[in-house]
């Protein structure tokens, strides 16, 4: 599958977050509002702020976690740009209607394929709909080489190239800050009784810009080699997803998250009843099994206190597991879940 053919131009960056920043800078989004879903990864929001934009948020569909056409329509006349992700590698079903809506209203449309490289929807491939499309090759993404991202567009990338040259080069300090922040983020999320989080988020925003915006030496060569193996990776991901699917027993409290045709699963996802979720996670962690609950509602980090009901519903229910692990480990995870008899 030739991802590079989706648009005329491409540009590789230190990470996908950097690509968002470069796009918004090049498109003069200073002082303008940029729409994101409430459950997107926090790393996508900081670049909008650094580019001078003002992030605003919308709710999602509570079934698949993606934005809907009706949901983004509410923001017409308010926003100058939209960042629309295909969550969990599951294509946004309304993506063509959203594309047409943005075209009619002269809204910059950034299609976020960070977790959906190679996916397709309706009559097109994910990455072909946006004015710009961004992809990630960072941790846990479709292709994981540890760092990197890239953007595709039919527009000129001259400004993007110039802005990229002004960014710092990845170094050991950035690496250590990224690792520390990842641990801190989980610590804060797992301790809802602390009240320091708003000060920590503000301090990170003001002082750790380099953690989100940087050049990475020769990343384009690494990305191109990895993307050349995309078809094999997609096939493996779908095979591992099927292995989970065939072994997990659904109950009153547990059901499998449904992927649409054309999806490229990001992780194996389950939807667990709110009253059972914490217990299930704790039991799995006791057995040293890899489990996460991405993605939570990101809006409190950025001071948005609106009630995003569907996003919070998804946050309270979703848990997920890595796909690219040994079949034996998948078997252990499934056995542990099934033996709990939830």
Summarize pLDDT for 25-70 with one digit per residue, the tens: 999 999 999 999 999 999 999 999 999 999 999 999 999 999 999 9
Average pLDDT score over the chain: 95
Share of the chain above pLDDT 90, in %: 86
Q: Over the stretch 228-239, which tens digit does the pLDDT of each residue have?
A: 999 999 999 999
Token pair 């490289």 in the structure block, residue: 117
* pLDDT tens profile 185-199: 888 877 878 788 888
Residue 197: its pLDDT value, please? 82
Q: How confident is the model at residue 94 (pLDDT cuts 50, 70, 90)?
A: very high
What is the DSSP-derived secondary structure letter of residue 126? T
Q: How far apart are CA 323 and CA 140, in angstroms?
A: 9
Distance CA 92, CA 115 (A): 12
Q: What are phi and psi of 9, to 5 degrees?
A: -125, 150
Peptide bond into 295 cis (omega under 30): yes
The domain limits of the chain are 3-166+217-226, 228-339
Assess whether the region 3-166+217-226 and the region 228-339 belong to the same CATH fold.
Answer: no
Alpha carbon 332 to its chain's center: 27
For the four alpha carbons of 275, 280, 286 and 292, in that order, the dihedral sign comes to negative
**Which CATH class, in words, describes the domain spanning 228-339?**
alpha beta
**Residue 131 confidence (pLDDT) above 80:** yes
User: Per-residue b/e over 117-145, b at no fewer than 16 CB within 10 Å?
Assistant: bbbbbeeebbbbbbbbbbbbbbeebbbbb
CA dihedral 186, 189, 195, 199 (to 10 degrees): 50
pLDDT for 154 equals: 98
Q: At what angle do helices 172-189 and 197-207 cross, to 10 degrees?
A: 160
Pick the CATH number of 3-166+217-226 from 3.40.640.10, 3.30.420.40, 3.40.718.10, 3.90.25.10: 3.40.640.10
Q: How many residues does the chain have?
A: 342
């Amino acid at each position: 599958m030739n991802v590079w053919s989706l648009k005329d131009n491409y540009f590789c960056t230190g990470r996908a977050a950097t690509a968002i920043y470069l796009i918004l800078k090049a498109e003069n989004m200073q002082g303008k509002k940029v729409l994101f879903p409430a459950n997107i990864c926090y790393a996508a929001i900081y670049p909008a702020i650094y580019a001078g934009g003002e992030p605003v948020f919308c709710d999602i569909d509570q079934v698949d976690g993606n934005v809907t056409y009706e949901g983004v329509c509410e923001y017409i006349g308010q926003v100058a740009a939209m960042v629309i992700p295909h969550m969990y590698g599951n294509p946004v079903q309304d993506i063509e209607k959203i594309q047409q809506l943005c075209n009619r209203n002269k809204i910059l449309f950034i299609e976020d394929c960070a977790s959906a490289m190679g996916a397709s929807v309706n009559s097109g491939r994910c990455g072909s709909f946006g004015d710009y499309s961004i992809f990630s090759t960072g941790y846990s993404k479709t292709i994981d080489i540890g760092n990197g991202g890239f953007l595709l567009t039919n527009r000129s990338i001259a400004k993007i190239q110039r802005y990229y040259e002004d960014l710092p080069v990845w170094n050991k300090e950035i690496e250590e800050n990224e690792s520390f922040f990842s641990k801190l983020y989980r610590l804060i999320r797992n301790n809802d009784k602390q009240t320091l989080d708003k000060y920590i988020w503000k301090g990170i925003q003001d002082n750790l810009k380099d953690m989100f915006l940087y050049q990475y030496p020769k990343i384009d060569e690494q990305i191109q080699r990895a993307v050349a193996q995309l078809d094999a990776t997609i096939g493996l991901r779908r095979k591992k997803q099927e292995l989970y699917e065939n072994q997990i027993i659904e109950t009153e409290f547990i059901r499998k998250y449904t992927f649409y045709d054309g999806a490229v699963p990001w992780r194996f996802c389950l939807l667990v009843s709110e009253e059972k979720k914490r217990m299930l996670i704790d039991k799995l962690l006791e057995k040293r099994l890899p489990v996460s609950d991405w993605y939570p509602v990101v809006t409190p980090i950025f001071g948005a206190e609106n009630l995003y009901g569907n996003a919070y519903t998804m946050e309270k229910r979703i848990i997920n597991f890595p796909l690219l692990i040994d079949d034996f480990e998948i078997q252990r995870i499934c056995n542990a879940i099934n033996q709990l008899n939830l």
